[in-house]
Amino acid sequence: MGVKITDYNSPNIPTWCPGCGNFAIHASLKKALSEMDISPSELFMSFDIGCNGNGADMITSYGFKGLHGRSIPLAIGAHLANRRMTTIADIGDGGCFHEGLDHLVHAIRSNYNITILIHNNASFALTTGQATVTTPKEKPMYGLPKGIPERNISIPEFILNQDPSFYARTYSGNLLQMGEIFKAAIGNKGCSIVEVLQLCPTYNREFTPEWAKENIKDVNEIENYNADSIESARTVLTNNSPLYTGIIYQNKTLPTFYDSLESRKDSITELVDEVKTHDIKNLLKYFE
């Protein structure tokens, strides 16, 4: 019997604001996973602290709601221990680009076979609206009535500069596209990064469904768009109107971290299968 979308439901009632993008993100993710026939017992999800992290008990999985900024290394540790599990690191723009930016850079560089799902609502929402690297300049934010004094970081440009295995952008108002992109990201063998432009009716009010409707376009609308080409990816990203979504870039030739390890080359088991007393007799000879 196949996996049903309802297998992923949890008994807990969501605590997000009405209109929060997380409702749709969760619905699309559950749909994608069930369509891929991945059961909740075959899924590991790590969660950050923030509104995304408040979804940890809204989806059934082997989950771990950890610490702020740390969902990526936590997911990597879990993934390396048992690659039979589909692994998703769930994180916000604050946790990913402030508290834990080092983890993102090294995850892309190392190319673990995991999916990093970035909820970008252009703020630290759960702590009531502080600025992040994606908050528009001059927008008054918590503690910064005149807005951020610094420049922004462009998430897609930053990620592309690390030469990722997979980068896609989607929008929380487009359930169907989100679902398809989640499937492609999970299916990609390598470090797949999905940035979701997330509606936040409380702290990101400028980003409305109406604005999105006018300004967001699917990259597939570009004739012969080639996601294998980093140049094409850069070209579509230099322009913010329209904002392109879809699979922006994919490099299928990058080897994964695990596959590059000499010590694991001939292993047919996973690390979780190997916890037993290992004989050290040969190793001891050196110390005699």
Partner 1 sequence: MPSQRISVKFGGASGQGINTIGVLLVRALKRDGQRVFAYREYPSLIKGGIASYQVDISNKEINSSSRYCNILLAFTPNSLNEYLKDVKENGIIVYDRKDINLTDEQKLYIEKKNISSIFLDSENIALEAGGIKIMSNIVVLGFLWRILESKLDILVSVVLRHFENKNVDLKAEENCVRAGYNSATFRPEYAKKIDKPKKEMFNNNNGYVMTGNNAIALGAISAGVRAYYAYPMTPSTSIFKYMGEHAKETGILVKQAENEITAVQMAMGSMYMGTRSLVATSGGGFDLMSETISCAGMSETPLVVILSQRTGAATGLPTWTGASDLNIALKAGHGEFPRVVIATSDAKSSYTLIQKAFNLAEIYQLPVILLMEKQISESIFNFKEMPRVEKIERGCIEKTEGEVQRYQITDTGISPRWIPSKDKKPYLANSDEHSQDGSSIEDSERTIAMANKRLKKLETLTKELPEPTLYGDKNPDLVFVSWGSVKNTVIDAIEADKDSRKVGYLHYEYISPLKTERLEELIATNKRLVLVENNQTGQLGNFIKENIGYEFKEKLLKYDGRPFFVEDILDFLKN
Q: 286: which 2 tokens?
A: 């050196």
- DSSP code, position 69: T
- Piece of 52-60, 115-123, 131-139, 187-195 that binds partner 1 (CB under 8 A): 52-60
Closest to partner 1 by CB, 76 vs 133, is: 76
Binding-site member from 26, 30, 103, 139 for partner 1 (CB under 8 A): 103
Binding-site member from 33, 78, 194, 248 for partner 1 (CB under 8 A): 78
Binding-site member from 24, 51, 76, 168 for partner 1 (CB under 8 A): 76
Q: Does 240 bind partner 1 (CB under 8 A)?
A: no
Tell the smallest beta-carbon distance from residue 120 to partner 1 (Å). 22
| Nearest Cα residue to 76 out of 116, 129, 42, 36 | 116
Tell the smallest beta-carbon distance from residue 254 to partner 1 (Å). 18
- Piece of 182-190, 212-220, 241-249, 277-285 that binds partner 1 (CB under 8 A): 277-285
Count CB neighbours of 2 within 10 A.
Answer: 8
Q: Does 10 bind partner 1 (CB under 8 A)?
A: yes
* Strand 166-171 relative to strand 243-250, pairing: antiparallel
- Piece of 134-142, 190-198, 204-212, 260-268 that binds partner 1 (CB under 8 A): 260-268
Closest to partner 1 by CB, 56 vs 219, is: 56
| Nearest Cα residue to 99 out of 122, 67, 139 | 67
Binding-site member from 14, 73, 136, 201 for partner 1 (CB under 8 A): 73
Q: Does 20 bind partner 1 (CB under 8 A)?
A: no
- DSSP code, position 278: P
C-beta separation of 266 from 237 below 8 A: no
Helix (H, G, I), strand (E, B) or coil at 232: helix
Residue with tokens 């596959």: 259
Binding flags for partner 1, 118-157, as an x/- string (CB under 8 A):
----------------------------------------
Count CB neighbours of 20 within 10 A.
Answer: 24
C-beta separation of 171 from 216 below 8 A: yes
C-beta separation of 161 from 242 below 8 A: no
Binding-site member from 206, 231, 239, 284 for partner 1 (CB under 8 A): 284
Closest to partner 1 by CB, 238 vs 282, is: 282
The CA-atom distances, in angstroms, between 198 and each of 68, 110, 213 are 19, 27, 13
Amino acid type, 271: L
C-beta separation of 70 from 98 below 8 A: no
Q: Does 98 bind partner 1 (CB under 8 A)?
A: no
- By the criterion CB under 8 A, which residues form the site for partner 1? 10-12, 39-44, 46, 49, 54, 56-57, 60-67, 70, 73-82, 84-85, 102-103, 105-106, 257-258, 261-264, 267, 270-272, 274-278, 280, 282-284, 287-288
